[in-house]
Structure 1
Amino acid sequence: MTPTPTAQVKCAAFWGHDGKALAAFYADALGWKVTQTFGDAAAMISDGTTTYVFYTAESFTAPNWPEDELVFHLDLAFDDVAAAEQRLLSLGATKPDHQPGGEHWTVLLDPSGQPFCISAIGR
């Protein structure tokens, strides 16, 4: 029997209407840095261990959430969720009316209209 090779995720990629702006939003949201740009088409962010790259897709359409299935979804955890929500809203996130998480998590939409959740660390 051949052993299963081990691997690690090197990078996750996301698409939006403006990859560089989306990278800047998530870098600010996470306290990370934009580490590389690729012209106007893409930008990469990292904390030194995890890397995300955001691409511009001219034909991008945000999901009509919650009706549409999601292509990706991030859950972000913070020490102070209320302060994080206010900061994320000031960075360009929006808060939809539909909030299925109750007291457990809050759904926000990033600047490209894609949902992500915030919750308390350890929850």
Structure 2
Amino acid sequence: MSTTPSTGTLSGSVISYAIWADDGRRLAEFYAAALGSEVGEPYPDEHGNEVAFPVTVGNAMYVFWTSSSFTAPAWPQQELPFHMDLAFPDVAAAEKRLLELGANKPDFQPGGEHWTVLLDPSGQPLCISQAQPS
């Protein structure tokens, strides 16, 4: 018996992005501050421990999960499965504030004048750049 694949078009939508870290709450607080948002009500695991911390920005929700087995990528030696690009009207001021919030600036900066790479508090790279005029 053979089956024929459906020819219908899917029309799903992304409702959240999940990001693992050694301390999900700390990472949620970092990105909430960076994006002008707040950390929402945390989600518990099966034992009642708070392990997932949502941050809503516009129509997107980012959920920062605490993972005891999390290891930050060895960037730039390892390829990244994902990273965030954040845009700001004043990149210099944003960089300064993100560093105050716990980010680090690695020596390797492949973006030249186009973007700056920072490492968030969990050690994962993120890029910041100039916001484009709307």
Instruction: Say yes or no: TM over 0.5.
Output: yes
How far, CA to CA, are the matches of 1:48 and 1:95 in structure 2? Answer: 27
In structure 2, which of residues 61, 65, 73 is the aligned counterpart of residue 51 of structure 1? 61
How far, CA to CA, are the matches of 1:87 and 1:48 in structure 2? Answer: 21
Calculate the aligned-residue CA RMSD, in Å: 1.4
Q: Extract unaligned runs of 5+ from structure 1.
A: none
Compute the TM-score of the two structures, normalised by the length of structure 1. Answer: 0.94
Identity across aligned pairs (percent)?
59
Per the alignment, residue 105 of structure 1 pairs with: 115
State the one-letter code of the partner of 1:56.
Answer: T
Q: Which moved more, 1:34-43 or 1:51-60?
A: 34-43
In structure 2, which of residues 69, 74, 81 is the aligned counterpart of residue 71 of structure 1? 81
Per the alignment, residue 30 of structure 1 pairs with: 35
How far, CA to CA, are the matches of 2:21 and 2:71 in structure 1? Answer: 8
Q: Extract unaligned runs of 5+ from structure 2.
A: 1-5, 44-48
Query: What is the deviation of 1:71?
Result: 2.5
The runs of 4+ residues in structure 1 deviating greater than 6 Å are none
Aligned pairs, number: 123
In structure 2, which of residues 107, 113, 129 is the aligned counterpart of residue 119 of structure 1? 129
Compute the TM-score of the two structures, normalised by the length of structure 2. Answer: 0.87
In structure 1, which of residues 10, 20, 23 is the aligned counterpart of residue 25 of structure 2? 20
